[in-house]
C-alpha cells in the first residue's frame, strides 16, 4: 500500500489499471476527454503489482469488486468506476479536479 500511495502522489490524477481491464480504458478515456493528464500505472507491468492489487482491493472496500481502475485525485483515493461516474454526473468531479490542479479554466 505504501508503494501505491507513493505512486498516487506523483501526479494530480493517478489511475491504477490492468492491461486486461476494459473499464480502465473507459476511465482513462474519460479523464483524457476532460483534459486531464492522468498518470496511468499498469499493475501487470509492476513487479509488485499483485501486492498492490490486493492492497487496492482492500482499500476500495474489499468484496469481489474489481481492484482496478482505482482513481486517486490529489493523492487521495476517490474510488472505482462507479464512484467516478457518479461524481461526474453530479458535477462534483470537475471541481475536485480543479482543486487538485489537474484542470485549469
Partner 1 sequence: MGETSSSSSHSRQDPCVLGYGFHGAMGNSISPANFFDQEGATYFGGLEEALMHHTPRRTEQATTTSTAHHGDTTPFATAATATAATATARPPPTLDIFPSWPMRSPHTPKEGSNVTADSTDSEGSSKNNSDHKASSDQQGGVANMTSQFDQISQEQHKTMATSSTHSERTGKTLDPKTIRRLAQNREAARKSRLRKKAYIQQLESSKLKLAQMEQDIQRARSQGLLLGGAPCSNSSSGAAMFDMEHARWLDDHGRRIVELHGALQVHLPDGDLRAIVDNTLTHYDELFRLKAAMAKSDVFHLITGVWASPAEQCFLWMGGFRPSDMLKTLLPQLDPLTEQQVIGICNLQQSSQQAEEALSQGLEQLHQSLADTMAGGSLIDDANMSFMGQMALALGKLSNLEGFVIQADNLRQQTLHQMHRILTVRQAARCFLAIGEYHNRLRALSSLWASRPREIQVADEGNCGELRMAAEPLRNQFSAF
Q: Binder to partner 1 among 9, 10, 29, 95 (CB under 8 A)?
A: 29
The nearest distance, CB 6 to partner 1, in angstroms, is 27
Q: Binder to partner 1 among 2, 62, 89, 104 (CB under 8 A)?
A: 89
Which cell numbers in the block locate residue 70?
482505482
Instruction: Report the C-alpha gap between 94 and 1 in whole angstroms.
Output: 27
The SS3 assignment for 63 reads coil
Q: Binder to partner 1 among 51, 59, 66, 75 (CB under 8 A)?
A: 66
Interface with partner 1, residue 85, by CB under 8 A: yes
Residues in the chain: 105
Q: Residue 69 — left, alpha, or beta (φ > 0 → left; ψ -120 to 50 → alpha)?
A: beta
Q: Closer CB to partner 1, residue 4 or residue 84?
A: 84
Q: Binder to partner 1 among 9, 45, 82, 99 (CB under 8 A)?
A: 82
Cβ neighbours for 30, distance < 8 A, ≥ 6 positions apart: 84, 88
Interface with partner 1, residue 90, by CB under 8 A: yes
Interface with partner 1, residue 9, by CB under 8 A: no
Amino acid at each position: 500500500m505504501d508503494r501505491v500511495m507513493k505512486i498516487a502522489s506523483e501526479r494530480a490524477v493517478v489511475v491504477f489499471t490492468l492491461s486486461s481491464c476494459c473499464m480502465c480504458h473507459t476511465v482513462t478515456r474519460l479523464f483524457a476527454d476532460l483534459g486531464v493528464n492522468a498518470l496511468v500505472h499498469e499493475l501487470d507491468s509492476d513487479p509488485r503489482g499483485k501486492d498492490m492489487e490486493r492492497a487496492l482491493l482492500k482499500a476500495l472496500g474489499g468484496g469481489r469488486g474489481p481492484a482496478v481502475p482505482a482513481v486517486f485525485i490529489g493523492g487521495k483515493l476517490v474510488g472505482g468506476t462507479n464512484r467516478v461516474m457518479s461524481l461526474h454526473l453530479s458535477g462534483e468531479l470537475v471541481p475536485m479536479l480543479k482543486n487538485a490542479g489537474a484542470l485549469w479554466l
